[in-house]
Amino acid sequence: MYLYDMNLSQVEKISKALGDSHRLKILQQMQKNKGKLECTEACNLLSLAQPSVSHHIKKLVEAGLIHQYKIGRHYHYALNHEVLDMYREALKQL
Residues that bind a copy of itself (CB under 8 A): 8-9, 11-12, 15-16, 18-21, 24-25, 27-28, 30-31, 79, 84, 87-88, 91-94
25 binds, among a copy of itself, DNA, none (CB under 5 to 8 A by kind): a copy of itself
Strand pairing class (66-71; 74-79): antiparallel
Round to whole Å and give the CA distance between 78 and 76.
Answer: 7
Return the number of the residue (19 or 69) whose C-beta is nearest a copy of itself.
19
Minimum distance from residue 73 beta carbon to a copy of itself (Å): 28
Round to whole Å and give the CA distance between 11 and 28.
Answer: 20
